[in-house]
Amino acid sequence: MIKTILSAIILLLLCFQLNAQELIKKHTPLKSITTVWDLDKANKQGTFKITAYKPIYFAASRWSDSPNRLPYSENADYTVTDEIDYNSFEMKFQLSFKTKLAESILFGEGDLWVGYTQIAHWQIYNTDISRAFRELNYEPELILTYPLNLSFAGFTIKMASVSFNHQSNGRDLPRSRSWNRVMFNIAMERKNLTVFVKPWIRLPDAEDENPLITSYVGNGSVTAIYKLRKHTFYAIATNSFSFKDNRGSLQFNYLYPINDNLNLHAQFFTGYGETLIDYNHYQNTIGLGVSFSTW
């Protein structure tokens, strides 16, 4: 297993070395919110064009200091009683796409999008459990966006949106996890910095599989993306916004270009809820891989 991981890392570093000199003089600006979300009314790109939504990446190696071998829920029906010997090392990848369903609605300014994100945690190095997927999270989303042009604290607020978000892992009892949210989003930018502020409201669920998920995962997130020459940094923080038992998570990512369409990608996570099955499980993880699309 260790040899496989080291071989993957060496291959990534060789690719990086071969292409670094070609990229040394290049400066790729951060994608503007206007471009990513097609906010320019005079240059609309039309409907049903599939584009990246959240980052698309593949981590050949992800290490956890506390694999969740016995997931539990405050709802006893969703508490696992048979421990599985998961490895600390696994693979992780994220796919995410969006497409516009309708444009120039809501006073001729808004757009309606559908997004889909899937995150996979794959125990590919664990032959004892036949290299099974440990967790798959599915996240479809219906998003209504509206362009803005407001100044705030040195930033320009470019967009507001509201969305209906469903997230689930598609598992049977007792490992099933799901929740529904109404999410609000304010997107702003300043030079090489883009910020998304996204509070959400959890919708009631008659069969609550994870009753205290917002107490651990939080009631909102802040995403910040910063571009410094060839380097891209982005962080995603969630928080419960509670003075008592304050919890949440922080995911930090660093990207460096291998070529025009591929980046070396390092990721660090600390806190609760890296996946739905881990919503109330605290861990620290480190991953290394490649990124095909960023924010």
Give the active site residue among 73, 168, 176, 293.
168
Q: What is the pLDDT of residue 125?
A: 98
pTM listed for this prediction? 0.90
Q: Is 32 a catalytic residue?
A: no
Query: In residues, how long is the chain?
Result: 295
Cα separation, 218 vs 274, whole angstroms: 12
Q: Which residue's entry shows tokens 């993957």?
A: 8
Give the active site residue among 32, 88, 121, 166.
166
Q: What is the pLDDT of residue 28?
A: 62
Q: Is 231 a catalytic residue?
A: no
Q: Point out the residues of the chain with pLDDT beneath 50.
A: 1-25
Phi, psi of 34 (to 5 degrees): -60, -45
Q: What is the pLDDT of residue 10?
A: 44
Contacts of 291 (CB under 8 A, 6+ apart): 55, 56, 57, 58, 253, 255, 262, 263, 264, 265
- 118 close to 137: Cβ distance less than 8 angstroms: yes
Structure tokens that stand for 100 in this block: 């516009």
Cα separation, 146 vs 13, whole angstroms: 42
The domain segmentation of the chain, as residue ranges, is 2-293
- 63 close to 23: Cβ distance less than 8 angstroms: no
- CATH superfamily, region 2-293: Phospholipase A1 (2.40.230.10)
Q: Which of 34, 58, 38, 56 lies closest to 47, judged by CA? A: 38
pLDDT tens, position by position, 144-187: 999 999 999 999 999 999 999 999 999 999 999 999 999 999 99
Cα separation, 233 vs 295, whole angstroms: 10
